[in-house]
């Protein structure tokens, strides 16, 4: 769809639509930045808000985590489906940086300017989302979390969670299946809540935002650098797995296929 087409113009079914890992090139950068800010804010509001609600309804930690993960799955899926056509629905500096890295050779994806706009928007949105959730439930608007998450096994969980997320998103892109991203990414995060020791933050911006709330989903500020470091390590692992598993073949003359 071009910029001159009316909003209501139907889009042919055979025209590929953007999703995470595939930023629409003709969308104004300010609109993409706004989508990343609002989407990340909404995601953190879902994570933090559902955590607060869960602790008010039950003292069973397993039920609290179930409520928190279920709300996150549905919320994330909706946000990706809604904002994917605008910004690619990254909501995550790890995804943005991974896409920039992979786009250096192919030229498809975010350019060097976009991470400089996306990442601050994501961080600002994450902080705003945490404050909004606290406000909705009558909690102090900003209260640093006291939830220490610095144990080595939790840091390992973040490497695994982030590597799996990168493998999923860029694996879908390599196999031309990004149309499944809203369901696939949300489902993965929901599963990773349970199979990783860290409950799968897998997102530097969300990690920063969750430090601003001393509630169920919070993380102590002192634990934030370690989590972010492991998430960036997970990006490297994930991209390496993508390169090996989805290795492009060569034609008979030794050149990559078109």
Blockwise average pLDDT, block size 10, the chain, 258 residues: 39 48 68 97 98 97 97 98 96 96 72 91 98 97 96 98 98 95 98 97 98 97 98 98 86 54
* Angle formed at CA 97 by CA 50 and CA 82, multiple of 5 degrees: 45
**CA-wise closest residue to 174 among 21, 2, 9:** 21
Residues 6+ away with beta carbon under 8 Å from 132: 41, 45, 49
Question: What's the predicted TM-score (pTM) here?
Answer: 0.85
State the virtual CA torsion across 158, 172, 85, 2 in degrees, nearest 10.
140
Q: pLDDT at position 1, please?
A: 31
Altogether, the residues listed in the chain come to a count of 258
- Tell me the C-alpha distance between 228 and 204, whole Å: 5
The packing angle between helices 224-245 and 93-106, to 10°, is: 40
Q: pLDDT at position 7, please?
A: 41
pLDDT tens column, 8-33: 445 454 544 444 545 445 689 999 99
How far does Cα 100 stand from its chain's mean position? 15
- Tell me the C-alpha distance between 153 and 149, whole Å: 9
Q: pLDDT at position 135, please?
A: 98
pLDDT tens column, 155-173: 999 999 999 999 999 999 9
SS3 216: coil
């Amino acid at each position: 769809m071009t910029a001159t087409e009316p909003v209501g113009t139907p889009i042919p079914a055979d025209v590929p639509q953007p999703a995470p890992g595939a930023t629409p090139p003709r969308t104004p950068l300010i609109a993409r930045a706004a989508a990343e800010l609002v989407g990340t804010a909404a995601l953190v509001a879902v994570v933090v808000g559902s955590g607060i609600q869960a602790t008010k309804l039950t003292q069973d930690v397993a039920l609290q985590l179930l409520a928190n993960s279920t709300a996150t799955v549905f919320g994330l899926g909706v946000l990706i489906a809604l904002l994917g056509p605008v910004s690619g629905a990254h909501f995550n500096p790890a995804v943005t940086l991974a896409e920039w890295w992979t786009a250096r050779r192919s030229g498809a994806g975010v350019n060097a300017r976009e991470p400089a706009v996306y990442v601050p928007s994501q961080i600002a949105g994450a902080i705003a989302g945490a404050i909004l959730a606290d406000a909705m439930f009558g909690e102090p608007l900003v209260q640093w979390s006291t939830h220490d998450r610095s144990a080595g096994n939790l840091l390992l969980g973040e490497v695994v969670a982030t590597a799996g997320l990168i493998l999923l998103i860029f694996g879908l892109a390599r196999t031309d299946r990004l149309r499944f991203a809203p369901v696939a990414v949300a489902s993965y995060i929901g599963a990773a809540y349970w199979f990783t020791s860290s409950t799968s933050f897998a997102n530097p911006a969300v990690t920063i935002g969750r430090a601003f709330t001393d509630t169920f989903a919070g993380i102590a500020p002192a634990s934030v650098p370690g989590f972010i470091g492991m998430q960036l390590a997970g990006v490297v692992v994930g991209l390496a797995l993508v390169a090996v598993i989805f290795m492009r073949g060569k034609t008979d003359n030794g050149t990559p296929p078109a």
